[in-house]
Structure 1
Amino acid sequence: MSRVPIPRHYGLDWLRVAAFAILIVYHVGMVFVPWGFHAKSPHGADWVVLPMLAVNAWRLSLLFVVSGYASRALLTRAPGVGHFVRQRTLRLLVPLAFGVTVMVPPQSWVELVTQHGYTGGFATFWTRDYFRFGALGGIVLPALNHLWFVLYLWLYTLVLGLAVLAIRWQRAQALFDRTFAGIGLLVLPAAWLVCIHAWWFPMGYETHDPTHDVMAHLSYLPAFLFGFALAGSAPVLAACVRWRWPGAAMGIAGYGFILAVELGLDGNAPRWVYPLYGAAHAIQQWGTIVALVGFAERHWNRDAPVRHILTEAVFPFYLVHQTIIVIVAYRLIPANLAGGAEFAILVTATVAGCWAFYLAGRRIAVLRPLIGLRPLPHSAKAAS
């Protein structure tokens, strides 16, 4: 494939930062909704589901699109595909191993203590029970939890490396440009997602177990590959700009239908509604992604002094944020605060804790690879 460097797309950087900011608030919301989570507030409320569903359909698919775009930029700067895959493996699997070993155990311990009657302290759990490579209280340990995204990103990177070696990429890129530079940008991916959510897996859910998660792979791997091809396609980026308002209308219409079902049927939808609900989910998912990429290309593709530190901080934030949420939620349970106060404390504590984790880790050379940051240059190491 072409080695022409892909210029940095500041608009997609801003999208990535915004998506992870939404992720923090979303995971705080998981403490209050009736869905399963590692720590639950005694002040949960059904209505919290409604704002969660405004972003639930598209937030992760958008991250895979942006990750695919960034992978194309990294590959064009690498000496070869093998070097690219090795570098991505180090940048992803080292933080994944660190996260599973250090970041995730407090989440599993809180879940076992609060929901499954586990009586041991955290030290006992971490040294005796966590690395059992089996189930405890119905929870498989050691656990991936929120770090499934990092594992999937690595697996898709391997698929991408094989695809680049096997496919005549110039022809594939030309086909991509012809297919998605027009109305096909809105119609074809949306139709594929309708098949997934309305036909093959109506009201299905992701398992985040890579060996038993067909629905997620059918959605996220194409999104990742789409982002990779998008990075080399000026015509499709232009189409995203051209179709951004229809995409936004699709996203609003899809969410509007979901909202009507949730409010009108009080969460007890008959089975005949499932395909329609899934189709609305798919339309909301893809329409919103096209709209956001279009707005990022048209209006947000400009740099700012704070962008560099925010884009660097995203991965460390992602590694630690859910652990902070779960621990703080657990500590707040005895306080019996109002739900609004709990939410405010959780958001504030999570953002502050993430910044502390990032700012401390970035200064210590040995910690940087563990939290997903590039190693310091030799001169910077000496200064540190």
Structure 2
Amino acid sequence: MARHYGMDWLRIGAFAILILYHIGMVFVAWPFHAKVAPTIDWVAIPMLAISPWRLTLLFLVSGYASRALLRRWRSAGSFVVHRSWRLLVPLAFGILVIVPPQSWVELTTQHGYTASYWHFLTHDYFRFGMLDGLVLPTWNHLWFVAYLWLYTVVLGVLVALPTPPRAQAAFDRVFGGIGVLTLPILWLFATQVVVFQRWSDSHDVWNDGVAHLAYFPAFLFGYGLAGSDAAMAAMVRWWKPAAFLAIASYAVTVVIEVAYPGLARPPQWVSDLSVWARQPHTWAAIVALIGVAEAYLNRDHRWRPMLTEAVFPFYIIHQTAIVVGVWWLLPLALPAAAEFGALTLITIAACWVFYLGGREIGWARPLIGLRPKVATPAQPATTEPTL
């Protein structure tokens, strides 16, 4: 299985975009753990360009990486055990240590909570119940890690079962042409609009079935794509029409957002149109991004191994850095542009400190999603992606 550097760069870029997206959540009217006041309606317009596909793409590239990891670990059982260690240890660490400041800031800034952080941590966070509408303890943004672990276990079970001898050949035939663009869109229409109507994710792994119908197939598609030169070539061939379709679908949501900004409630038919437009936007953008990455970014660079390794630690810490950063900045009452710039710098600095510091401490490496250190300091410890 040849390494596709374009997919590495796409993974790095997707997580960088996710961090900027979560910074943007501070400024729009949509619910988030920390908010500026007043919010800025127009910020939603660039965020709507990202919102439909960002998570589906992350699950797809995680499925893609899982194919290489399965080959590395040879058996499905070893793969599941290894991935469980790499995912569940950081998830537990995140729930216990990284996420609590987010809940405290949300309670103090939006719910009138007055107790100190220490009191919150020792008396309220581990209540295993509700506090003013918030479930505690919680995983917040780390829900993605929990879902990824679940999909990994299911993949391990599927791989351990007898596999039809021409399964990959069938994948190549189905997705080796225009089907790579059209068939997933039809699946999204059927599952996300016609049979069910999905407006958002619940982040509750047991009660988020409609989201699983989007994310798990994307994960499996990524696994199949990692072994399919035909499907990858089709994405390269069809990326321009896909980009046009994604932009056209996005234009529909922009018109709706401009007409009904912020938390305004449009008529039902307008809401339905928004949900319909979201589906081609989701998959067409993914096809376009993968096609561009494969055609133009499939080359290595000296920064790639470090950035590939840094993705998971960045993901673990970034939202807490954002939320705590907002809490620090709110008393300063900065202009919105200055607040955005300061918050971006705080978040980037926190991510790098968390990664560069944690990778040098042997016992901390598993907590932040890194493998045990087995290389000399002059060499990257690993280029194996975790997410």
TM-score normalized with structure 1 length: 0.95
Match of 2:340 among 337, 340, 343: 343
Equivalent pairs: percent with the same residue?
56
**For residue 169 of structure 2, what is the aligned residue in structure 1?**
174
CA contact (8 A) 1:203 1:274 kept: no
- 1:311 paired with 2:296, answer no
- 1:272 paired with 2:269, answer yes
SS of residue in 2 equivalent to 1:333: helix
CA contact (8 A) 1:247 1:290 kept: yes
1:76-95 equivalences under 5 Å are 76-95=71-90
**For residue 112 of structure 2, what is the aligned residue in structure 1?**
117
Q: For residues 75-129 of structure 1, what are the alpha-carbon distances to aligned partners after superposition, in whole Å with 9 as ceiling and x for unaligned? A: 0111311000000000000000000000000000001111111111111111111
- 1:295 paired with 2:292, answer yes
| Letter aligned with residue 103 of structure 2 | S
Query: CA separation of 1:212/1:303 partners in 2, compared to 1, >3 Å: closer, same or farther?
Result: same
Q: For residues 300-332 of structure 1, what are the alpha-carbon distances to aligned partners after superposition, in whole Å with 9 as ceiling and x for unaligned? A: 111000111111111000000000100010111
261-270 vs 64-73, greater mean Cα deviation: 261-270
Q: 2 CA distance for matches of 1:277 and 1:256?
A: 10
Match of 1:368 among 365, 376, 384: 365
Which stretches in structure 1 are left out of the alignment for 5+ residues? Answer: 1-5
Q: 2 CA distance for matches of 1:170 and 1:324?
A: 48
**For residue 37 of structure 1, what is the aligned residue in structure 2?**
32
1:181-196 equivalences under 5 Å are 181-196=176-191
The runs of at least 4 consecutive aligned structure 1 residues that moved more than 6 Å come to none
**For residue 328 of structure 2, what is the aligned residue in structure 1?**
331
CA contact (8 A) 1:244 1:295 kept: yes
CA contact (8 A) 1:134 1:141 kept: yes
| Letter aligned with residue 359 of structure 2 | R
Q: 2 CA distance for matches of 1:276 and 1:166?
A: 41
Q: For residues 190-218 of structure 1, what are the alpha-carbon distances to aligned partners after superposition, in whole Å with 9 as ceiling and x for unaligned? A: 01112233323436211000011112101
**For residue 14 of structure 1, what is the aligned residue in structure 2?**
9
**For residue 141 of structure 1, what is the aligned residue in structure 2?**
136
Q: 1 CA distance for matches of 2:166 and 2:272?
A: 36
**For residue 102 of structure 2, what is the aligned residue in structure 1?**
107
Q: 1 CA distance for matches of 2:370 and 2:165?
A: 32
CA contact (8 A) 2:198 2:211 kept: no
Q: CA RMSD in A?
A: 1.6
SS of residue in 1 equivalent to 2:130: strand
Q: 2 CA distance for matches of 1:41 and 1:103?
A: 22
CA contact (8 A) 1:81 1:161 kept: yes
Q: 2 CA distance for matches of 1:84 and 1:281?
A: 34
Q: 2 CA distance for matches of 1:48 and 1:212?
A: 30
| Letter aligned with residue 146 of structure 2 | L
227-236 vs 189-198, greater mean Cα deviation: 189-198
Q: Once the 2 structures are TM-superposed, how far is the Cα of residue 378 of structure 1 from its aligned partner? A: 7.6
Q: For residues 207-244 of structure 1, what are the alpha-carbon distances to aligned partners after superposition, in whole Å with 9 as ceiling and x for unaligned? A: 00001111210110000000000001111111111111
| Letter aligned with residue 124 of structure 2 | D
CA contact (8 A) 2:63 2:222 kept: yes
Q: Once the 2 structures are TM-superposed, how far is the Cα of residue 40 of structure 1 from its aligned partner? A: 0.7
CA contact (8 A) 1:94 1:369 kept: yes
**For residue 384 of structure 2, what is the aligned residue in structure 1?**
none
CA contact (8 A) 2:198 2:210 kept: no
Q: Once the 2 structures are TM-superposed, how far is the Cα of residue 273 of structure 1 from its aligned partner? A: 2.4
Q: 2 CA distance for matches of 1:252 and 1:68?
A: 26
**For residue 3 of structure 1, what is the aligned residue in structure 2?**
none
SS of residue in 2 equivalent to 1:140: strand
162-171 vs 9-18, greater mean Cα deviation: 162-171
CA contact (8 A) 1:43 1:338 kept: no
CA contact (8 A) 1:196 1:215 kept: yes
Q: 2 CA distance for matches of 1:32 and 1:215?
A: 28
| Letter aligned with residue 98 of structure 1 | F
Q: Once the 2 structures are TM-superposed, how far is the Cα of residue 265 of structure 1 from its aligned partner? A: 4.1
Match of 2:195 among 193, 200, 203: 200
SS of residue in 2 equivalent to 1:135: strand
| Letter aligned with residue 139 of structure 2 | L
11-20 vs 263-272, greater mean Cα deviation: 263-272
Q: 2 CA distance for matches of 1:204 and 1:11?
A: 31
SS of residue in 2 equivalent to 1:211: coil
CA contact (8 A) 2:34 2:327 kept: yes
**For residue 54 of structure 1, what is the aligned residue in structure 2?**
49
Q: For residues 347-368 of structure 1, what are the alpha-carbon distances to aligned partners after superposition, in whole Å with 9 as ceiling and x for unaligned? A: 0110011001100000000000
Q: Once the 2 structures are TM-superposed, how far is the Cα of residue 170 of structure 1 from its aligned partner? A: 3.4
Q: Once the 2 structures are TM-superposed, how far is the Cα of residue 290 of structure 1 from its aligned partner? A: 0.5
18-27 vs 41-50, greater mean Cα deviation: 41-50
Aligned pairs, number: 377
Match of 1:152 among 147, 150, 162: 147
